[in-house]
């Protein structure tokens, strides 16, 4: 069964734009890509700004398969997990899947903090304004539009 799904992508190490473009080019069932935003990191250690975007898929992949896709994209970008919420070449999260809720130790859909993150909700709102119902932008620093991919 095909349905709408959204992935959030971010990068704050190295060639940020290249990491994002390469990952997006490898995503199957891609329908749309939000604008690109530069954001201050939320939580974690002192680190550089992120480039963030959200992509929309029309897919029959399961939530688990989407998580595997996210992990493979991060691996291709040589992401190293040293410190929780630390700097990273690529971070890819399953944000939302129409009609699906998952609550497992390593996978929660919708993403646990999706509605708390302006760097997710603002680009998501470009692609799916229906998902913004009732959302208020928390003060998490500036989310600066920097164009398109």
Q: Which residues are catalytic?
A: 79, 88, 91, 93
Beta-carbon neighbour count of residue 60 at 10 Å?
A: 11
Tokens 């500036």 — which residue? Answer: 142
Closest CA to 69 of 36, 97, 103: 97
Residues ≥6 apart with Cβ < 8 Å to 136: none
């Amino acid at each position: 069964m095909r349905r709408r799904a959204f992935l959030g992508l971010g990068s704050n190490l190295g060639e940020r734009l290249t990491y994002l473009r390469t990952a997006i080019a490898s995503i199957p069932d891609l329908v749309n890509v939000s604008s690109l935003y530069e954001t201050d990191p939320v939580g974690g250690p002192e680190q550089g700004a992120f480039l963030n975007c959200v992509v929309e898929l029309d897919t029959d992949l399961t939530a688990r398969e989407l998580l595997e896709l996210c992990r493979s994209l991060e691996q291709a970008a040589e992401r190293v997990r040293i410190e929780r919420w630390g700097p990273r070449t690529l971070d890819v999260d399953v944000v939302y899947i129409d009609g699906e809720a998952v609550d497992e130790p390593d996978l929660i859909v919708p993403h646990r903090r999706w509605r708390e993150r302006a760097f997710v909700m603002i680009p998501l709102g470009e692609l799916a304004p229906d998902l913004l119902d009732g959302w208020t932008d928390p003060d998490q620093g500036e989310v600066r539009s920097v164009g398109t991919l």
